[in-house]
Amino acid sequence: MADLYGFVQQQNASRASDGTSRGIRITRDGAILQIPWLQALCLEGRVFGAAPGSTALGTTVGPYGGTVTLDLDEFDFLQTIPATVAIIPIYINVGIAVTGTAGEGGFHAYWGGAGVVGANGVSVTPHNLRPASSNVSACTVVASADDGGTAFVPAGLVARRASNTITVTSGFMDVPAWSVVESGYAPVIEGLASPARQLGIWVYSQGATTGFIQHVWAELPIAAVV
């Protein structure tokens, strides 16, 4: 059995270029220093986000539906994943500007396919969470589309969250976010060419209100996961 040794670098970490052979970094008591894999992907420039609103980087999106029943041909957020990549959803956050009577609000996030947006969809360019990286997302994102597109066909649930408000005139409903840290797992959604594989998010509240959506995901070449 081989012994495993590392280099104590608790206070003064040294760094090298990619491809350099290095010893394992440890603390003074021999514990191995490591970072979460998703953070390593962020350092690699493989983590992307989209926070669409009424414009590609706007603060509000909507209007949202007024019932829990989803209108599968009216998209609040539709992400199309091509066959060249796979995505790992990391974080979904939704906020709802509350107007009207008290009631429930929340979101549903599914993976599936066949969705085509109708009129007035806002195209969103995903941003890299390491801005200096040259990597760009292969996914396309459209938000705030009107009713009348081609219906999305759900194939699996990514996340579902709900909240209640007692506000009757105005205010803001902060729906509990979904994250891989909180859930303890992350779906791995491989892209497809035809029909395209997609991730859709629908937000609902007690009235036709606005708010925001944020989705953060890791994106890898398909060869890295199959």
Q: What's the CA angle centered on 159, arms 114 and 113, to 5 degrees?
A: 5
Total domains present in the chain: 2
Q: Which residue has the tokens 């009235």?
A: 207
Do 76 and 150 fall into the same domain? yes
Q: Same domain, yes or no, for 144 and 118?
A: yes
Please check whether residues 51 and 7 belong to one and the same domain.
no
Looking at the structure, do residues 203 and 174 belong to the same domain, yes or no? yes
In terms of domains, do 22 and 72 share one?
A: no
- pLDDT above 80 (res 168): no
pLDDT, tens only, 31-42: 998 999 999 999
Map residue 35 onto helix, strand or coil. coil
* pLDDT score for 226: 77
Q: Are residues 151 and 70 in the same domain?
A: yes
Lowest mean pLDDT, pick from 58-72, 120-134, 154-168: 58-72
What's the length of the chain?
Answer: 226
State the CATH number of the domain containing residue 162: 2.60.120
Could you give the C-alpha distances from 89 to 19, 156, 159, in angstroms and in order? 29, 13, 10
- Return the sign of the alpha-carbon dihedral for residues 161, 166, 170, 172: negative
Residue 85 confidence (pLDDT): 97
Same domain, yes or no, for 59 and 14?
Answer: no
If asked whether residues 14 and 85 sit together in one domain, one would say: no
Which residues are within 8 A (CB) of 214 and not within 5 positions of it... i.e. 6 or more apart? 49, 50, 51, 91, 92, 93, 94
Question: Do residues 6 and 84 share a domain?
Answer: no
Q: Percent of the chain beyond pLDDT 90?
A: 47
pLDDT digits (tens, 9 = 90+) for 80-91: 999 999 999 999
- Domain span at residue 11 reads 1-34
Check whether residue 146 and residue 60 sit in a common domain: yes
For the chain, what is the mean pLDDT? 86
